[in-house]
Chain A
Amino acid sequence: MSKIATVWNREFRSFWLSPIAYIIIIAFLALTNFLYFRTFFLEGQASLRTFFDFLPWTFLLILPALTMGQWAEERKTGTIEPLLTLPVTEWQVVLGKYLASVTLLVVILLLTTPLVLTVKVLSTNGIDGGQTLMSYFGALLLGASYLAIGSWVSSFSDNQIVAFILSLAAIAVLLFLGLPFVTYFVEGGFSVLLRNIGLTTHYSSLGRGVLDMRDLLYFGSVIYLFTFLTTRMVESRKWS
C-alpha cells in the first residue's frame, strides 16, 4: 500500500515539475469555457447540459496528453529498469501511476466549478444540485476510463506522440460505438449491444441524475480491464 502511495506521490508531483500539467489545464479550461459561453447567451437559459455534453470531446483531446508519457517516457529514458527492479510488483507501480493521473483529473474537474457557480448565479430558477453532482461523478468515471485506456497504450509505446494519437483513436472508437449515427446502421439486438459497449450511453445515463448499478459496473470494468492489460504489458518485458 505504501509503495502505491510512494509511486502516486512521485508521479503526481512530476506533472508539476514539467510544463505538461499547466498546459493541459489551461487548454482544457479555455476550450470548455469557450465552447460553453459561445452559446450560453444565445440559448438564454442557464443550464449546465451543454457543458457536460461537451466533456467527452474535450476530454478526448486533453486526457491522452496526461497519460502519453506515463510508460513511454520511462521506457525511452531507461528509468523503467531501475523502477521495475525495485522490490515492488508491477501492479503497484501501474496503480500508483494511474491514480496520479486520476488525481490530476480531479483537480481539472474542480477547476471547472467557477463555471458552475457562474451559471448558478445567473440562472433564475437555480440548478439542480443533485443532478450536477451526479454529472460530475459521471465525468470523473468517464475521464478515469480514458486515462485507463491511455495508460495501456502508453505501456506498449516508445514514443509519446504515437501514444497520444493511438490513445485518442482507441478512446474515439469506444466513444463512437454508442452514438446514434453508428447504432442507426446496425440491426436490433446488435445495436443494443453496441450502445451498451459505448462510453456515451453510460455517461449520459449518469448525467440524467440516475445512479444505475449497470453504469457503475460498466465504468468499473473498463477501468479494471485496461489497468489489468497495462500490468500484463509491463510484465511482458520479462519474456521478451
Chain B
Amino acid sequence: MIEVSGLTKKYGDVLAVDDVSFSVSKGEIVGFLGPNGAGKSTTMKVLTGYLAPTEGTASINGHDIIDAPLAARSAVGYLPESTALYEEMGVVDYLRYMGRMQGVSAADIQGRIDDVIQTCGLGTMAHKDISQLSKGYHQRVGLAQALLNDPPVLILDEPTSGLDPAQIVEIRALIRRIAEEKAILLSTHILPEAQNTCSRILIISNGKLVGEGTSDELLDMVSGNEQYSIRLRGGDGTLKKLEDLRGVHNLVSSKEGSELTCTLTAEKGTDLREQIFDTAVASGAKLLELSHRSTSLEDVFLSLTGTTGRRGASADAEGGSDNE
C-alpha cells in the first residue's frame, strides 16, 4: 500500500533522507524508529505531499505521489507531528471541514463524523471548542481527522507524543484496533512503543535506513550476550564450577557476608538457567536469586544508530516530552 523507492530529500545542501526504500502492506503497523532529527518526519512529509522528494519516488495505494498527488493524498490519513488544529473552531465543525476537504460527500459527512468521534472516544468533547481541549484530546481530534474519509493508509507522526501513560495505552489500543484493514506507518523515538505496537520496525539514522525487520529479527542482527545475575549462599567451589559451564565467557563476583553475588556472561543463544540451578544444588549452595537478560532492542537501536549514551532511545513510557 505504501511503496517507497530510493527516496532522497535535501534541504539545500543538507541531506535529510538518503536513498530510503521500504514498503508497508495492508494489515501491517510499521514503526519508523530513530533518534530526533533522523529523517522520520521529513520522510512522512514527502509521502503526504507536503514536501517534494529531491530524488526517488513513492506510491500510495498505487498512486504515484508526484504523478497523481491528489489521488495519493486522498488515500492517506495524516497526523502531523505538530497536531496543529484550528483552535477557534468547534470539534464537530473542524471535523466537518476536514472531511469535506478530504472529499467526503455532504450526504455522508455527518455519519462519518459520528463514527470517528465514537472510534476516538471524543463523545464528551464533541461540542467544545478545540482551544478548550487538553493535549490528549487534541491528539485524538488529530487522529479522528485522519480517519474521516476511511483511508486505506495512515501516516502518524509521533501519535503518542506528549500524552500521559494512560492516554498512550488508549491511543496504542486504538491504533491496533483500526490496523486490520489499513496499512499504518507510525514514527516514534520511544522503543517500547515500537516493540509493543508495531508488527515491523524500520530503524532510520542520519537519513539512512539502517535496520528493518520484526523486533526478533532485529535482535538477531546484533550479536550480543546472555547475562545472568546470580545470588548464592554457601557451597564452596560453586563459582569455579559455574565458570566451567559451556559457553561462559566471563564471571564477576563479589561477597557480602555469607551472600555471594555474581554476574555471568555467556554466549548468545544459550540458556544456562537450569544448569546454573543444578550446579548450585550439586555443590550444596542455596540459590537466592537468578535472573536472565539477553540483548534488548535498546542495545540493537544504539548499535545500529551509532548513538552514544541513552538519549533518543529513552525507555521511559512518557517519552516525547522533548519534542523538537
* Residue ranges of A at the interface with B (Cβ–Cβ < 8 Å): 2-3, 6-7, 9-10, 14, 17-18, 77-89, 237-240
Contact = CB atoms under 8 A, between A and B. Distances in A.
B80 A87 contact: no
Nearest to A14: B88
A237 B89 contact: no
A81 B100 contact: no
Nearest to B103: A87
B32 interface: no
B145 A239 contact: no
Interface in B19-59: 45, 48-52
22 contacts: A6-B101, A9-B97, A10-B89, A78-B80, A78-B82, A81-B45, A81-B50, A81-B84, A82-B84, A82-B145, A85-B48, A85-B49, A86-B101, A86-B102, A87-B70, A87-B102, A87-B103, A238-B51, A238-B52, A239-B51, A240-B11, A240-B51
A89 B45 CA distance: 16
Contacts of B78: 82, 85
B101 A18 contact: no
Given A3-B101, A6-B101, A87-B103, A81 B88 contact: no
B93 to A, nearest CB: 8
A52 to B, nearest CB: 35
Nearest to A93: B101
A151 B190 CA distance: 41
A89 B101 contact: no
Contact of A14 (B11, B85, B89, B101): B89
B9 to A, nearest CB: 10
B45 to A, nearest CB: 7
Nearest to B142: A82
A116 B90 CA distance: 39
B61 interface: no
A88 B85 CA distance: 18
Contacts of A17: 88-89
B73 A86 contact: yes
Contacts of A239: 51-52
Given A85-B48, A85-B50, A87-B74, A10 B84 contact: no
Contacts of A82: 78, 80, 84-85, 98, 142, 145
Contacts of A77: 84, 87
A144 to B, nearest CB: 25
A85 B146 CA distance: 11
Contact of B98 (A18, A86, A89): A86
A14 B129 CA distance: 13
Given A9-B97, A81-B80, 11 more contacts: A6-B100, A6-B101, A14-B86, A77-B87, A85-B48, A85-B50, A85-B76, A85-B78, A85-B80, A86-B102, A237-B51
B84 A79 contact: yes
A225 to B, nearest CB: 24
Contacts of A237: 50-51
A10 B97 contact: yes
Nearest to A6: B100
Given A6-B100, A85-B50, A79 B89 contact: no
A10 B70 CA distance: 21
A86 B72 CA distance: 10
Q: Which of A14, A17, A89 has the most CB of B within 10 A?
A: A17
Interface in B144-161: 145
B51 A6 contact: no
Contacts of B11: 240
Contacts of B80: 78, 81-82, 85
Nearest to B84: A78
A67 to B, nearest CB: 17
A14 B93 CA distance: 11
A87 B65 CA distance: 11
Contacts of B82: 78, 81
Contacts of A6: 97, 100-101
Nearest to B47: A85
A6 B109 CA distance: 13
A238 B84 contact: no
Nearest to B45: A81
Contacts of A80: 84
B139 to A, nearest CB: 13
B101 A84 contact: no
Interface in B82-122: 82, 84-89, 97-98, 100-103
A81 B101 CA distance: 14
Nearest to A76: B84
Contacts of B87: 77
A169 B137 CA distance: 42
A104 B74 CA distance: 31
Nearest to B46: A238
A84 B101 CA distance: 10
Contacts of A18: 88
Nearest to B101: A86
Given A6-B97, A10-B97, A240-B11, A84 B84 contact: no
Q: Which of B49, B52, B84, B88 has the most CB of A within 10 A?
A: B84
A18 B49 CA distance: 30
Q: Which of A6, A81, A84, A238 has the most CB of B within 10 A?
A: A81
